[in-house]
Structure 1
Amino acid sequence: MIRAFRNTGRLIGIVRILARHDALFPLEAVPGLPALRWFGRLLGRIGRKRGRQQRPGLRLAAALQEMGPSFIKLGQTLATRSDLLGEDIAADLSTLQDRLPPFSSARARATIEAELERPLAELFASFDDRPVAAASISQVHFAETAEGEKVAVKVLRPGIEAAFARDLDLFDWIAETVERVQPQLRRLKPRAVVATFAATVRAEMDLRLEAAAAAELSDNFADYDGFRVPQVDWQRTARRVLTLERIDGIRIDNVAALKEAGHDTDQLLRQSAEVFFLQVFRDGFFHADMHPGNMFVDGDSVLRPVDFGIMGRLDVKTRYFLADMLLGFLNGDYRRVAEVHFQAGYVPADQSIDDFMQACRAIGQPILGRPVHEISVARLLAQLFQVTETFAMETQPQLLLLQKTMLVAEGVGRTLNPTLNMWELARPLIEDWMRAHRGPEARIRQAALDIGQVLERLPALLGQIERAADRLADPAGVKLHPDTAEALLRRRRNGAVALWPLWLALLLVSVAAVLY
């Protein structure tokens, strides 16, 4: 009850800000809130800010910016939900900049000393009090170690954990209320989306996790010359402080400066496409905040990423689904696209596969019928998400994060060369990966692995059956008819013989897998 009163009060404050910016339209998407919408419209007649001529998405972005750090992050997350808000509003929300006024260098110094338990003078030979970047969760200062290493030091904002905890509780309460009041919206998994958002934010607020993410990404690309992750200074890293190797380079969207420095922008686009493919398909671990401000090009034309607070993971099955789906779309095989959705369980089995195939064609033909350099897989995914209601598809939060990352990656690609398409550049890699992981030989190897796992579990399963039979046949246990008890004991005695066809089949498949 206290939680409901507290969050209702905060919700009224949010409605007031939305009203001032003439951005109440998100409330129209949630039926069952007539009183809140009436209150919002009433407030909207009073004290409305200028800017009504702006597009709705820009007005909503301005309102979220005023609400503070958590809402800025939320808006960036909603930028992936064109299925909820429409493509135009989602595109406008993607322009939200996570920039806030910096906090004082004295507080930054105090945080560093408290976290690392040493005076700043012992940690750094020099420390620049002017932050080079200030965002909703942290800010960054340049420094130099006593060993002469140039580093970037990220420091969390004071009190940010408590502020986000209050807002995350509010978001979860709203999602819970929506699911309860409007059961038909449960398929969109509002609570799961909030939970994913909360997990991402909490990970960002433990800078040791960001350090670990940077180290993992670095290990994944240890043998790749065109992409290098800054090294972590673990001795100067803690929960609220992260110290990384400082990057010197040119932003990847500054095409004029890149060309002036002698870089081949077409080659940089090829590298970017290859790196994106390797992260998503090979590793299932990708940088999920790869806007142009987080990617630089050094003097050797090596891509240098920064800011590893938001990372995405995809399990093997999801990667297989993506590869099958993308190749199906790129080849115009809409039957295959529909089949992989049903096989993955993303579309319920009671839906019509033919109708879904027709919907996929309606999405793919206009996009893939364009000149190759204008094809946008991110836009294709966004439109695919928009048909979820018709076919009762459940939201897949991990794919929403990927779709957002794709959108940003495509934007960077068009900046480097608007006549080249990153997906066509990556297509040979996708096809090679598919042959290696989805071809006949790969399927046999996977079948052999699955069989091996079954064989490992089989003795334990047989033991459980035997123990269950003992309990059932025990006179002091469950009372059974004598004929039933005798039949169970007979099956137990003959179990090993009865299972010989299964053992033979497993042996034959295993031999076939080895021979192939």
Structure 2
Amino acid sequence: GPAPSSTTLPPAGNPGAQPPRWNPWTVKAQFKQQPLRVAARLARITAAFGGWGAAVGLDYATGALEQSSTQRQRGRELTRVITDLGAAFVKVGQALSTRPDLCPPEVLEELSSLQDNIPCFPNEEAFALIERELGAPLDSVYSEFSKEPVAAASLGQVYKARLRDCGSQVAVKVQRPGIEDTMLLDFYIVRSLLKQADNRLDWLETSLVGLLDEFADRVLCELDYVSEGRNCDRFRELYGDRPDVVVPRIYWNLTRTRVLNMEWIDGVKLSDKDAMAAEGLDVIKLVDAGIQCSLRQLLEAGYFHADPHPGNLLATRDGKLAFLDFGMMSETPGPARLAIIEHVVHLVNRDYQAMAQDYYALGFLERSVDVSPIVPELEAFFDDVLTASVSELNFKTITDGLGGVLFKFPFNVPPYYALILRSLTVLEGLALSTDPNFKVLAAAYPYMAQRLLQDPTPQLRRGLIELLFKDGTFRWNRLENLLRESGKSEDSNADATIAPLLDILLSEGDGSDEVRDLVEREAVRVTEAMLVGGAISAAREDNQVAELLRSSLGDMPSLVPTRDQAELLRLRAQVLRVWAYIQARGGGVSAQSLQPVLDVLNDSARGRNASRLGLRVAGGVTQRLAARTLQRVLAEDAANRRQSAQQQTA
């Protein structure tokens, strides 16, 4: 890690300290003492929104608001109003751009273009604040310091510097003076207005005051650079060991509430195509690294970078992806992580009823809401866009289409999910600027497949069973596709899929009897396909081995009607392909690779089930062959009788 500074400074920021919390009652008490200031700002806000609100009201009265072009125009005007009102409103607008349950898609698209177009504040103010926070002159801490900011946004700006005592380069982030007080005033006024809207608009499904409180709390955390440093440390601890990802280190002895010193990382913005090309860096490879890291953030630890816009992602010159700016982080609740993967399974199965039910687990809907009207909407949208596999879908197509559905019904999109959509949309947008055919779901599906095949969680085991046993029939093509897709995942190990699959097939518990019945039926089919299909295949060959097989298997192929032979050969070919793939991708047979399988079989209950399954399969195959033999005998007897009758007639 970075060498500690020897400069004598006041106590450093405490990485274990709690971030400030938004307290609307404290803020209300504060601004009740400043009525003139509140009135002046309220007048400014009212004037800014007055013309826009009047236009929207007229559109609503005339029915013009139903038109897509009108919605887009009003969205464009709203973006201008928000930008003019400053940092707090820009932050609110950016958050609103991720809420398809609150705004129609056309407005969301306009709001997504919101940028922090606020000019830099004077360097003298920045330098004075740094010295005040650190309690030491600038030149006693830094041997070099950039004369101008290298980056700026609504909340603060960043300088490049070199530490005097250890020579390390650092990014020095300093907060805009007075920004917290300015934003608190705006949040106080907006909260008062939203409270009136909540009381008067009965059709609102979401508490606007609740949304504002949650958002203000998050922005306050963003304004506390000690909190941001703690976020960075946690992110690095979880994901910093990935070979294709870089996470900077925090200089805690030089970090305060309004000043942050972070390891400087040299790199190129992913959005700078010319610079990327000059360095020979592959945008698609780096975006894929971002997607794989994001999937692990969202679906494993659940702690994720919620603001991966192009300015916060750098490509290092050795081809790694660097994450910057950890002010906005979020967490995916444990149950929701699994529900997201299950949702993908239901989408692959086109099980729209189950997809609608997923919205309970994802926190989109209260349990009291009837999902039956939503099902036909999902069916109409996805049947229209699902012309190929799910992985071929454009992510923005899904978010736009689902946004229309979410806006029609009483959905309340949780903040974590809105931020997930924003995160993946940004990554796909970066890739699309280089490759118009890039699909974020195609890049994400290998990870999903690997989790489904290897994760022992009961919920995901159930999802795998749903995927493979669609309508009571085992889908070998889906198993083959899952294996091939999971093989593209960096954590893939084909040997590791055998034991989990075996565990599912032999498990005890709720629903396991039904699964075992399906497994037994499929095992009988497969065994017959391997035996009889092998005999049919051998009968068509012309060599000594085939002759030996024909002599040992006798008349077995002729027991199967011609119409069934093609099905048996098809099934045999599928099974052989799957097995060949596992062998090719695995590490070969070894004590180490067999141990997980032996562990499953050594479990007393699963061992009994394995023995029972073997006996039932043997019995089932024998019964099928006996039935085929009997059918053939009866068919031959009937044919002989017909022939005899014809001869007597003649």
TM bin, normalised by shorter chain, reads 0.7 to 0.9
| Residue 246 in structure 1 maps to residue 264 in structure 2 | yes
- More displaced, 400-409 or 304-313? 400-409
Other-structure match for 1:505: none
Q: Deviations over 1:324-381 (max 9, x none)?
A: 1133224433232122224556334454444322222223233433797873435534
Other-structure match for 1:171: 190
Hey, what's the Cα distance between the residues in 1 that align with 2:39 and 2:55?
19
Task: Structure 1: state its 5+ residue gaps.
Answer: 32-51, 449-509
**DSSP-derived class of the 2:384 partner:** helix
**DSSP-derived class of the 2:433 partner:** helix
1:174 Cα deviation from its structure 2 partner: 2.0
Determine which of 457, 461, 464 is the counterpart of 1:439: 461
- Give the number of equivalent residue pairs: 431
Other-structure match for 1:401: 419
Which is higher, the Rg of structure 1 or of structure 2?
2
Hey, what's the Cα distance between the residues in 1 that align with 2:359 and 2:604?
32
**DSSP-derived class of the 2:167 partner:** coil
| Residue 154 in structure 1 maps to residue 185 in structure 2 | no
Q: Check whether the contact 2:270–2:310 (CA below 8 A) recurs between aligned residues.
A: yes
Q: Check whether the contact 1:250–1:298 (CA below 8 A) recurs between aligned residues.
A: yes
Letter in 1 for 2:219: V
Other-structure match for 2:81: 63
Hey, what's the Cα distance between the residues in 1 that align with 2:200 and 2:151?
42
Q: Deviations over 1:213-262 (max 9, x none)?
A: 11111111232111111111111111000111112111112234323322
Hey, what's the Cα distance between the residues in 2 that align with 1:247 and 1:104?
25
Hey, what's the Cα distance between the residues in 1 that align with 2:74 and 2:389?
30
Alignment of 1:249-328 (within 5 A): 249-328=267-346
Q: Check whether the contact 1:80–1:404 (CA below 8 A) recurs between aligned residues.
A: yes
> Given the superposition, is the C-alpha separation of residues 282 and 84 from structure 1 closer, same or farther in structure 2, using an over 3 Å criterion?
same
Other-structure match for 2:93: 75
Hey, what's the Cα distance between the residues in 1 that align with 2:123 and 2:346?
53
Hey, what's the Cα distance between the residues in 2 that align with 1:118 and 1:174?
44
> Given the superposition, is the C-alpha separation of residues 342 and 54 from structure 1 closer, same or farther in structure 2, using an over 3 Å criterion?
closer
Alignment of 1:96-135 (within 5 A): 96-135=114-153
> Given the superposition, is the C-alpha separation of residues 55 and 181 from structure 1 closer, same or farther in structure 2, using an over 3 Å criterion?
closer
Hey, what's the Cα distance between the residues in 2 that align with 1:133 and 1:198?
24
Other-structure match for 2:230: 212
| Residue 18 in structure 1 maps to residue 40 in structure 2 | no
Q: Deviations over 1:13-57 (max 9, x none)?
A: 32322356x5655667999xxxxxxxxxxxxxxxxxxxx999332
Hey, what's the Cα distance between the residues in 1 that align with 2:331 and 2:44?
36
1:310 Cα deviation from its structure 2 partner: 0.9
> Given the superposition, is the C-alpha separation of residues 16 and 433 from structure 1 closer, same or farther in structure 2, using an over 3 Å criterion?
same
> Given the superposition, is the C-alpha separation of residues 54 and 393 from structure 1 closer, same or farther in structure 2, using an over 3 Å criterion?
closer
Other-structure match for 2:432: 414
Other-structure match for 1:368: 386
Q: Check whether the contact 1:81–1:382 (CA below 8 A) recurs between aligned residues.
A: no
Q: Check whether the contact 2:206–2:412 (CA below 8 A) recurs between aligned residues.
A: yes
Q: Check whether the contact 1:82–1:90 (CA below 8 A) recurs between aligned residues.
A: yes
Q: Check whether the contact 2:390–2:441 (CA below 8 A) recurs between aligned residues.
A: no
Q: Check whether the contact 1:76–1:93 (CA below 8 A) recurs between aligned residues.
A: yes
Q: Check whether the contact 1:414–1:420 (CA below 8 A) recurs between aligned residues.
A: yes
1:391 Cα deviation from its structure 2 partner: 4.3
**DSSP-derived class of the 1:184 partner:** coil
Q: Check whether the contact 2:72–2:110 (CA below 8 A) recurs between aligned residues.
A: no
CA RMSD in angstroms, aligned pairs only:
3.4
Hey, what's the Cα distance between the residues in 2 that align with 1:30 and 1:227?
49
Letter in 2 for 1:117: G
Q: TM-score, normalised by structure 1?
A: 0.75
> Given the superposition, is the C-alpha separation of residues 279 and 128 from structure 1 closer, same or farther in structure 2, using an over 3 Å criterion?
same
> Given the superposition, is the C-alpha separation of residues 136 and 266 from structure 1 closer, same or farther in structure 2, using an over 3 Å criterion?
closer
Q: Deviations over 1:35-89 (max 9, x none)?
A: xxxxxxxxxxxxxxxxx99933222211111111111111111111233332122
Hey, what's the Cα distance between the residues in 2 that align with 1:291 and 1:344?
25
Task: Structure 2: state its 5+ residue gaps.
Answer: 1-27, 62-69, 463-499, 510-602, 610-650
1:156 Cα deviation from its structure 2 partner: 0.6
Other-structure match for 1:194: 212
**DSSP-derived class of the 2:262 partner:** strand
Q: Check whether the contact 2:116–2:153 (CA below 8 A) recurs between aligned residues.
A: yes
Hey, what's the Cα distance between the residues in 1 that align with 2:397 and 2:210?
23
Letter in 2 for 1:190: L
Q: Check whether the contact 2:98–2:419 (CA below 8 A) recurs between aligned residues.
A: yes
**DSSP-derived class of the 1:369 partner:** coil
**DSSP-derived class of the 1:416 partner:** coil
> Given the superposition, is the C-alpha separation of residues 132 and 25 from structure 1 closer, same or farther in structure 2, using an over 3 Å criterion?
farther
> Given the superposition, is the C-alpha separation of residues 345 and 296 from structure 1 closer, same or farther in structure 2, using an over 3 Å criterion?
closer
